[in-house]
Amino acid sequence: MATIFSKIAAGEIPSYKIAEDDRFYAFLDINPLAKGHTLVIPRQETDYLFELDDQLLADMMVFSKKVALAIEKAIPCKRIGVAVLGLEVPHAHIHLVPLNAESDISFSKPKLQLPNEEMGAIAEKIRSGF
């Protein structure tokens, strides 16, 4: 059965898209830790990031770098933090989170819920710098 993230990458479930190519898809986390919090996924359905083939994992990190640089251009922050959890959605993904302080990437703090218009505007701003 397709994962929710596969359905997002296929356009069957809506998302705030940031970037895509034939192997990867990047979109805003629906409950972000910080404005601009983005998820990068491989189109290939694999649960655990470290089960990916070496080359796909390396290329995913390069794709994530391009996304991170675009987030940095759009969102005022000191740098982009990187995290891998995968405790909620069993489809490999990398979290990219704009950081101004260590606590900005604390997954135990309450997540943000931003209005649709603001999520759309953030995605558009990041996309334009990709």
User: Which residues here bind ligand 5GP, judged by CB under 6 A?
Assistant: 4, 15, 27-31, 39, 85-89
- Beta carbon nearer to ligand 5GP, 23 or 86: 86
93 labelled catalytic: yes
| Catalytic one of 37, 91, 93, 95 | 93
- Eight-state DSSP code of residue 108: T
Q: Give the other-Cβ count within 10 Å of 9's Cβ.
A: 25
Q: In the structure encoding, which two tokens stand for residue 57, read together?
A: 């994992």
In the complex, least distance from residue 114 CB atom to ligand 5GP, rounded to whole angstroms = 12
Task: Report, in Å, the least distance between residue 91 CB and ligand 5GP.
Answer: 8
* C-beta closer to ligand 5GP: residue 12 or 21: 12
Task: Label residue 114 left, alpha or beta by phi (over 0 means left) and psi (-120 to 50 means alpha).
Answer: beta
The residue (of 39 and 80) whose beta carbon lies closer to ligand 5GP is 39
At 28, the amino acid letter reads L
Cα four-point dihedral sign 67, 68, 69, 72: positive
Report the first-to-last Cα separation within the chain, whole angstroms: 32
- Minimal distance, residue 111 CB to ligand 5GP, in Å: 6
Active site residues: 93
